[in-house]
Chains A and B, each alone.
Chain A
């Protein structure tokens, strides 16, 4: 190494060391005023929250884990379900799943409210299950991907929900190669999952129905979904799921308005709360998303939250 390079490298190395140390002192001085962790947690806890999309049975955890997170993050009530995620989803399957939820509701009556699951391929049993579960205090339906939401098999279910003024939460996809979207990339899974287009069709056929698109944080192309659902006023978008991408919530509000966005977690609590708290939205918009919108949906059917 020639001397000139040696001297230059020594100088820059030394300046790097000095820079590193100086960064600490200067940085501390510059951040004297922002809210600290206690204030931030107060803000998190200050918002009343209704979690419009939670599950039981996705892992070995029992309902006590859900409730623990509710207490940790200030979630007033969780609307919890156990969709049948594999196999034929026979009446025995969905009744058993709903029984798990009924048991959890009895264990945590102040915290958990059930959303029943069913498979509309079994129409008689599905309608009977709606009657049974709503009679036990469930206030919504959560269905998975056995049948597309716009399939005629769903018509009797949706019509029943219209009568009950009850929302239906439906798993959705907007992913390359699934359920009809860009099938040159066929992933070979969930052929009957519902795409945003399917929601649009169902919503148009039944404008009195309330449909919940689950979930823009769950892995789909959320820009695609939000744009497509813009003109379906009876489709609500839930922001639940494991993704907490910056601008996701703001984009949804921009596309469909704050009144049609629902806080949900899909058991991903940190992300689902954090991304709303951080979103560049007004106080009123955050309150609507966390609580008011879902509360208003419940009120339509006479289901109340204290």
Chain B
């Protein structure tokens, strides 16, 4: 079984994306034998009112049986924008969304913002994960209208420290994984699931051993990234690097446990 924990629909306003809709994503899933995908609507990064994007995603996913069967939608919540608590409840309770994503860099608030802490606690109390995206695109190629600064893994650690009993996903590990010993301990001890899409996973066997084999799952970051690279990191492991059971954890076991599917 294969589960992709990091996929998107929607647009990136500074560059054309291909197959950036449920049908396009489903095509890749069929091609690669992926059973389920966590999917988020990129439009929510750029809409002031993120709930409009969540509604778009909900409508798209429920429009077809194949989508309902294969996609696990996550909502984008901006906790410093009006009505966010109601948005959260609508998405989680009414829409059945499986988790939430936050984009503090793009939505212009800090990691210690009290509203973010409130949101994460709400997510914890509703037993849904909070997905943190290290970056969407490489700032080196950014548009003149895009953000210049990126956040590294260490920049998210204070949130995990503040609400240590929440469930977190850390996606697209592309902005630096250097941590102090204390920070590394925080992440090792927390309920964190990393995906395999990011460029700083330069040698997957070494990286998963650093944090533990229960902490990684396949993620594509498609359609921003190609669909296969995140999976190639897993499939190119040698038997002496990962037993079949370990690969099964990376392909779906860790995701199933974490997402309760």
Whether the pair A36, B96 counts as a contact (CB closer than 8 A) is no
A-side interface mostly: helix
Task: Check: A275 CB closer than 8 A to any chain B CB.
Answer: yes
Task: Check: A110 CB closer than 8 A to any chain B CB.
Answer: no
- Contact of A245 with B226 at beta-carbon distance under 8 Å, contacts A34-B31, A34-B33, A219-B141 already known: yes
Whether the pair A243, B222 counts as a contact (CB closer than 8 A) is no
- Contact of A16 with B96 at beta-carbon distance under 8 Å, contacts A22-B69, A245-B225 already known: yes
B150 → chain A closest CB, angstroms = 12
Whether the pair B93, A274 counts as a contact (CB closer than 8 A) is no
B 31-63 to A, binary, CB cutoff 8 A, 1 in contact else 0? 111111000000000000000000000000000
Whether the pair A246, B223 counts as a contact (CB closer than 8 A) is yes
Task: Check: A220 CB closer than 8 A to any chain B CB.
Answer: yes
Task: Check: B228 CB closer than 8 A to any chain A CB.
Answer: yes
- Contact of A26 with B33 at beta-carbon distance under 8 Å, contacts A244-B225, A247-B16, A274-B232 already known: no
Whether the pair A220, B140 counts as a contact (CB closer than 8 A) is yes
Task: Check: B257 CB closer than 8 A to any chain A CB.
Answer: no
The residue from B70, B203, B235 contacting A23, defined by CB atoms under 8 A apart: B70
Q: How many chain B residues touch A (Cβ–Cβ < 8 Å)?
A: 58
Which of the segments A98-106, A123-131, A265-273 contacts the partner chain?
A: A265-273
Residues of A within 8 A of B66 (CB): 30
A 1-19 to B, binary, CB cutoff 8 A, 1 in contact else 0? 0000000110011011001
- Contact of A12 with B233 at beta-carbon distance under 8 Å, contacts A23-B70, A30-B70, A278-B226 already known: no
Find the B residue at minimum CB distance from A41: B235
Q: Roughly how many angstroms separate A277 CA and B227 CA in the complex, as a whole number?
A: 9
Whether the pair B96, A271 counts as a contact (CB closer than 8 A) is no
Instruction: Scan residues 118-142 of chain A and give those whose CB is less than 8 A from a CB of chain B.
Output: none
Residues of A within 8 A of B204 (CB): 270
Whether the pair B236, A23 counts as a contact (CB closer than 8 A) is no
- Contact of A219 with B140 at beta-carbon distance under 8 Å, contacts A20-B260, A34-B31, A246-B222 already known: yes
The residue from B96, B142, B199, B233 contacting A176, defined by CB atoms under 8 A apart: B142
The residue from A12, A174, A243, A274 contacting B138, defined by CB atoms under 8 A apart: A243
Whether the pair A220, B69 counts as a contact (CB closer than 8 A) is no
Q: Roughly how many angstroms separate A46 CA and B256 CA in the complex, as a whole number?
A: 32
Q: Roughly how many angstroms separate A41 CA and B141 CA in the complex, as a whole number?
A: 31
Whether the pair B18, A246 counts as a contact (CB closer than 8 A) is yes
Task: Check: A108 CB closer than 8 A to any chain B CB.
Answer: no
Whether the pair B235, A275 counts as a contact (CB closer than 8 A) is no
- Contact of A270 with B233 at beta-carbon distance under 8 Å, contacts A22-B69, A28-B35, A244-B226 already known: yes
Q: Which of A65, A271, A280 has the most CB of B within 10 A?
A: A271
A 237-269 to B, binary, CB cutoff 8 A, 1 in contact else 0? 000001111111010000000000000000110
Whether the pair B93, A30 counts as a contact (CB closer than 8 A) is no
Instruction: Scan residues 134-170 of chain B and give those whose CB is less than 8 A from a CB of chain A.
Output: 137-138, 140-142, 144, 148
Task: Check: A107 CB closer than 8 A to any chain B CB.
Answer: no
Residues of B within 8 A of A274 (CB): 226, 228-232
Residues of A within 8 A of B229 (CB): 244, 270-271, 273-275, 278
Residues of B within 8 A of A35 (CB): 32-33
B141 → chain A closest CB, angstroms = 5
Residues of A within 8 A of B70 (CB): 23, 26-27, 30
Task: Check: A227 CB closer than 8 A to any chain B CB.
Answer: no
Task: Check: A175 CB closer than 8 A to any chain B CB.
Answer: yes
Q: Roughly how many angstroms separate A132 CA and B31 CA in the complex, as a whole number?
A: 50
Whether the pair A72, B35 counts as a contact (CB closer than 8 A) is no
Find the B residue at minimum CB distance from A68: B203
A246 → chain B closest CB, angstroms = 5
Find the A residue at minimum CB distance from B261: A20
A 173-190 to B, binary, CB cutoff 8 A, 1 in contact else 0? 011100000100100000
Task: Check: B192 CB closer than 8 A to any chain A CB.
Answer: no
Find the B residue at minimum CB distance from A178: B140
- Contact of A278 with B144 at beta-carbon distance under 8 Å, contacts A15-B96, A219-B138, A247-B18 already known: no
Q: Which of A246, A248, A250, A280 has the most CB of B within 10 A?
A: A246
Residues of B within 8 A of A22 (CB): 69
**A residues at B contact (CB < 8 Å):** 8-9, 12-13, 15-16, 19-24, 26-28, 30-31, 34-37, 40-41, 44, 65, 72-73, 174-176, 182, 185, 219-223, 242-248, 250, 267-268, 270-271, 273-275, 277-280
Could you list 20 A-B pairs, sorted by A, with CB under 8 Å?
A15-B96, A19-B96, A20-B98, A24-B256, A27-B35, A28-B1, A30-B66, A34-B31, A36-B33, A176-B144, A219-B138, A222-B141, A223-B15, A242-B138, A246-B17, A246-B225, A268-B202, A270-B229, A273-B229, A278-B227
Could you list 18 further interchain pairs (A-B, Cβ under 8 angstroms) beyond the known A28-B35, A247-B16?
Answer: A12-B93, A20-B98, A23-B36, A30-B30, A30-B66, A31-B29, A34-B31, A40-B32, A41-B235, A41-B236, A44-B232, A44-B236, A175-B140, A185-B148, A220-B140, A220-B141, A247-B18, A270-B232
